[in-house]
Amino acid sequence: MSPTAARLAIIVAMLAAWEAGVRWFGNPLFVSPPSRVAVALLDLAGNRDVLAAVARTCLEISIAFALSTILGVGLGLLVGLHRFTRGAMYPVILLLYAVPQVTMLPLFVLVFGIGMVSKIAFGVSHGVFPILMTVAAGVQNIEPILVTSARAMGASRRQILLAVVFPHALSSFFTGMRLGMTAVLLGVLLAELYVSQAGVGYFTTMFTQTFQPQNLFALVAVLAAIAIMLNALCRWAELRFRANV
Amino acid sequence: MKRLVQIGFVVLLALLWQLATLGHVSPLLLPPPAAVGREFLVLLQTANFWPDLRVTLFELIAAFLIAAFTGSAIGSAVSRSSYAVRVFDPLFAGMYSIPAILLFPLYVLFFGLGPGSKIAMGATIAFFPVVLNTITGLSQVDRAYVAAARSMGASPIQMFWSVMLPAAFPVILAGLRIGLISGFLAILGGETIASFSGLGHRIVNLAESMDTARMFANIVFVMLVAWVLNAAVSFAEARGRRGIA
């Protein structure tokens, strides 16, 4: 059996064990077999409020990711390209990066409210650091001989940046985007679960408190699927653009 | 000069912070740094963080022990055959890319608001780096070592203790370190989202009662705890690496 087939078989076996275990031993108030989750998935697909909540969370993730990329690349270039800004900012950035950001979550809600803005801001606070660090490292780790030879051939600073530094930093840029996406997902979902009035966090809390495990499992499955797709997309972009350079 | 720039940057930030609190920013959102410092000293003097710190550390230790045992046991079992590695490694890596915090509502449903759900959350998050690094470490041991030990008549037990484990130890230790730190963050996140004790819950409580200066002092305290934890683990990792190699 090929490893992929074996993997699929394991997943199917786990689902079957879950189904059997829950049907025979589980309390339907707390757990739900996969078959009922699948039915609930169809139910949720027809529920306009839940669809709006999922769309809202996707929007939060996209905005947070876009902002993290812009900020992260901008600050990363600033830190990576200039010795002065690197000396001044890098230790401070490392310090901020080491802060356990979850502890700041109540603060974000206090400052940005319980709406979308606090989720986006918290997502950005997670996503910006990995992007910043990878971009800064990518810009710095260029082989000095490339820069030296470009300079020896009379390239201006601008030409060196555009023709040597940026093309070589491109793959680190995409690595940063992938790490940033993982972090943004974590930030946005954490903020959603903490407090939410119309996003997915509202529905996870509601389904938990009203003992509807089949709906809760289904919603978690949808979010996991979105996360897997976004991660796969970033990985694909990373591999593709790395191959091109 | 570099130091000077760094210190200048930090002082500038503190000055801006102080200036902002003098202006129009409400002290409910951003307390002046002096007030935070005072509250921090009060916090250290009265030492009333013990009950919450104890809960959080207990959760962390329980979660880490679960993750370390299951992760290294499953990892070493899988790494015994290269076929199993090809089946399970992508499976675990794929699961690792899903934001595990999504499971938290389910854990609250299963294990309640107490330490149980946080231990489960921390153990889930810490499990993956441990198992992945155990697999990587044990399956990348140089074949020459294994062949040499076998030809000299090593028993399976000797093979494991004297060859496989020392060769794979640095990678496994790195996995344990990542697991401990990410488990700590997950537990703090869980306490922030839904709980009735622990450091994360303490910060939420202060935020919700708009006691921002004390909240900032507690955030600083948690940063300190994270820093101590990080330093202790890095120290242990360096010692362990030197001790066995």
Q: What is the tens place of the pLDDT at every residue in B76-125?
A: 999 888 899 988 988 898 888 888 888 898 898 889 888 999 999 999 99
Structure tokens at B177: 């370190």
d(CA B122, CA B104) in angstroms, rounded, equals 10
Is the ipTM of this structure higher than 0.85?
no
Decide if B128 contacts B92 (C-beta within 8 A). Answer: yes
Q: By C-alpha distance, which of A11, A13, A40 is closest to A28?
A: A40
Residue type, A152: A
Alpha-carbon distance B160 to nearest alpha carbon in chain A (angstroms): 26
pLDDT at A245 over 60: no
What does pTM read for this prediction? 0.84
pLDDT at A172 over 70: yes
pLDDT of B117-174, one tens digit each?
A: 999 999 999 999 999 999 999 988 888 888 898 899 888 888 888 888 888 888 898 8
Mean pLDDT for B209-224 is 88
Q: What is the DSSP letter of B98?
A: S
- Which pLDDT score is estimated for B2? 65
pLDDT of B166-198, one tens digit each?
A: 888 888 988 998 999 899 999 999 998 888 889
- Which pLDDT score is estimated for A231? 86
Structure tokens at A11: 């997943």
- Interchain CB contacts (distance < 8 Å): A and B: 125
Alpha-carbon distance B154 to nearest alpha carbon in chain A (angstroms): 31
Phi/psi of residue A187, nearest 5 degrees: -60, -50
Kindly give, in sequence order, each residue whose CB lies less than 8 Å from that of residue B125, ignoring residues fewer than 6 positions away. B67, B100, B101, B179, B182, B183, B185, B186
Comparing CB atoms, the residue among B1, B98, B227 nearest residue A228 is B98
Q: Which of A10, A102, A107, A196 to mutate to test the interface with B (most CBs of B within 10 A)?
A: A102
Decide if B201 contacts B195 (C-beta within 8 A). Answer: yes
